[in-house]
Homo-oligomer: A and B are copies of this chain.
Amino acid sequence: MTDPVIEIRNLHKSYSALEVLKGVDVTAPAGHVVSLIGSSGSGKSTLLRCANLLEDSQEGDVIFCGEPVVWKGTGLHRHPGDHAQMIRIRTNLSMVFQQFNLWSHMTILQNVMEAPLTVLKRDRAEVEASARAYLDKVGIGDKCDVYPAQLSGGQQQRAAIARALCMEPKALLFDEPTSALDPELEQEVVKVIKDLAAEGRTMLVVTHDMRMARDISDHVVFLHQGLIEEEGPPEAVFDAPQSERLRGFLSVTQSA
């Protein structure tokens, strides 16, 4: 269980003038859950987006299951060079977006079934069964046939999670997967994530919920202003923070 599934090395990323990531290394071995914490705007979402190649980065490497992404060009013109590889990586790496990004023209069930059907070419009946099962699991089995605009925020978020799960990928990227969920559902999601880890799936989770980060993680990374300020097992990070910044960041949580 120690082969890294997701490995990010010395990643640099700028939005024109704004340098968001300034050389970040993250490694997630198979079956491990790595949490990314850090203040708003520190680059957590950007890191996830770079990991599945939605954003082009300017320097550094992304390695998925031992296979490094092939780049073309350099600096601001750098982009993934091997299309087939990119698809291969993405189908094995599902993402739950911070803004959910459900396809607004499809019903919830269609949203969940879409990628398994068209990308993985799985059998329709089987996919439908598993899609319904996942929707039930996240508690919105009764909302199969409505469109995203008719759902509450939490329901949309759960639909987005079901969509990612239904791909049955090797690794998952969660961008604040419980931001719109109540504590009960949050616990459900924590349970789901733990189950997935037990199945051997690898996860990168961005979260603002320290309790959840502590619950689920094998490893916690604290991102600050585009750099990793501190990282380690949850006990170390939360109970014995080394850096000034992390101590400040955590103090509000602990004190309350």
Binding site for B on A (CB under 8 A): 15, 37-41, 45-46, 98-99, 139-140, 150-155, 158, 175-176, 179-187, 208, 210-211, 215, 248-250, 252-253, 256
Contacts and interface: CB of A to CB of B under 8 A. Distances in A.
A15 B183 CA distance: 26
Contacts of A139: 40
14 contacts: A39-B154, A39-B182, A39-B185, A40-B152, A40-B180, A40-B182, A45-B152, A46-B152, A99-B153, A176-B179, A179-B179, A183-B210, A184-B248, A186-B252
Name, among A37, A186, A215, the residue most crowded by chain B CB atoms within 10 Å (CB to CB).
A186
B184 A39 contact: yes
A99 B175 CA distance: 15
Contacts of A215: 256
Contact of A184 (B99, B179, B252): B252
Contact of A249 (B45, B182, B252): B182
B40 A158 contact: yes
A98 to B, nearest CB: 4
A176 B185 contact: no
Contacts of A154: 39-41, 208
A133 B141 CA distance: 46
A140 B40 CA distance: 10
A70 B52 CA distance: 53
Contacts of A40: 139, 152-155, 158, 180-182, 185
B176 A153 contact: yes
Contacts of A151: 41
Contacts of A253: 183
A53 to B, nearest CB: 19
